[in-house]
Amino acid sequence: MTLEGTVALVTGASSGIGEATARALAAQGATVALAARRKDRLDALAAELGGFAVEADVTDREQAINAVESTVSALGRLDIVINNAGVMLLGPIVDAPVEEWDRMIALNLNGLLYVAHAALPHLLKYAQEGPRNVADLVNVSSVAGRRVGQGGGIYQLTKHGVGVFSEALRQEVTARHVRSSLVEPGATESELVTHVREAVRSNLTPSTIEILKAEDIADAIVYIVTRPRHMAVNEILIRPTEQE
Contacts (CB under 6 A) with ligand NDP, residues 30-59: 36-38, 56-59
Pick the closest to residue 156 from 195, 120, 128, 184 (CA basis). 184
**Least gap, CB of 128 to ligand NDP (angstroms):** 29
Pick the closest to residue 6 from 102, 75, 61 (CA basis). 75
Count of residues interacting with ligand NDP (CB under 6 A): 30
Contacts (CB under 6 A) with ligand NDP, residues 99-128: 107, 111
Binding to ligand NDP by residue 14, rule CB under 6 A? Answer: yes
Binding to ligand NDP by residue 140, rule CB under 6 A? Answer: yes
Q: How far is the C-alpha of 77 from the C-alpha of 123, rounded, in Å?
A: 9
Binding map of ligand NDP across residues 175-204, x = CB under 6 A, - = no contact: ----------x-xx-xxx------------
Q: Catalytic annotation on 155?
A: yes
Catalytic residues: 155
Where does this chain bind ligand NDP (CB under 6 A)?
A: 11-18, 36-38, 56-59, 84-88, 107, 111, 140, 142, 185, 187-188, 190-192
